[in-house]
Structure 1
Amino acid sequence: MALPFNPALKARAKALRKAGNLAEVLLWNQLKNGQFKGLDFDRQKIIGNYIVDFYCAEKGAVIEVDGGSHDDKAEYDAQRDAFLGGIGLRVIRILDKDVKHNMAAVIRFLMQQLLETPGAVQA
């Protein structure tokens, strides 16, 4: 499926990939290069008018790492989640503090969310 794409966001997505906050970098180190059960993830992927933290096309899933910057963005996040859900994507939210302090639990959670479904890649 071809995802909607706003080319005006390319420079912003590239800047986000370069800057990367600590939690995103730590999680990316677990997901990149097929390290997570052979699944392919994109980082700072443009989908429509949004840039998502991580995207797995094979599973139709978006992973968002939520830190303090999301505290006052509940309405924005709800609109974004509705858009992503409307095009058939599932949004998985993980707390920044969990990535930083309990990566093993985050990985278990992602395995449950992404792998333990009918027809999923076997662990």
Structure 2
Amino acid sequence: MTDLSHLSGRNRQIPEALLIRARQLRQQQTCSEQMLWECLRARRLNGAKFRRQHNIGQFIADFYCHEARLVIELDGSIHQSRIKQDTERDAWMQACGLRVLRFTNEGVQNHLESVLTEILGQVSKSLSLGERDLG
């Protein structure tokens, strides 16, 4: 398993501009982000700890679960024009050993249960793989 602490851990070095931007994003959540956050916060999904607008390297992930090495991104209409950038960002995160799930805002609003089921599946899968690696 790759050590991600230098990218996403507590003692990582984060440029001030990214810290400020993450704080702004937490204060300006979309409706979809608010809905999903209510389901993920305070270990509400199978006890997994999620963070919102979390800095990973030079990026800010919408939601991040360190123990499952899972990034969740919610895509609004702006992402139609950012496909190349999103693909490059996902590839970078995957190269760092992270799993990336993308959902549309509409998907969260209209199919929240399915979204949560998929996230739970990935969290469970990641944690069971991690236990095998440690054992």
TM above 0.5: yes
SS of the equivalent of 1:39 reads coil
Displacement after TM superposition at 1:104 (Å): 1.1
Displacement after TM superposition at 1:94 (Å): 1.1
1:96-117 Cα distance to aligned partner (Å, 9 max, x none): 1011111111111112222146
TM-score, scaled relative to structure 1: 0.90
Any gaps of 5 or more consecutive residues in structure 1? Answer: none
Q: CA RMSD in A?
A: 1.7
* In 1, Cα distance between equivalents of 2:70 and 2:89: 14
What amino acid is the match of 1:113? Q
Any gaps of 5 or more consecutive residues in structure 2? Answer: 8-12, 130-135
1:91 pairs with 76, 83, 100, which one?
100
With 12-21 and 97-106 compared, the bigger mean Cα shift is at: 97-106
* In 2, Cα distance between equivalents of 1:28 and 1:104: 13
Q: Which residue of 1 is the match for residue 123 of structure 2?
A: 114
With 53-62 and 99-108 compared, the bigger mean Cα shift is at: 99-108
Kindly indicate whether residue 44 of structure 2 is the aligned counterpart of residue 35 of structure 1: yes
* In 1, Cα distance between equivalents of 2:53 and 2:66: 13
Kindly indicate whether residue 54 of structure 2 is the aligned counterpart of residue 45 of structure 1: yes
Identify the structure with the greater helix proportion: 2
Tell me the percent identity: 34
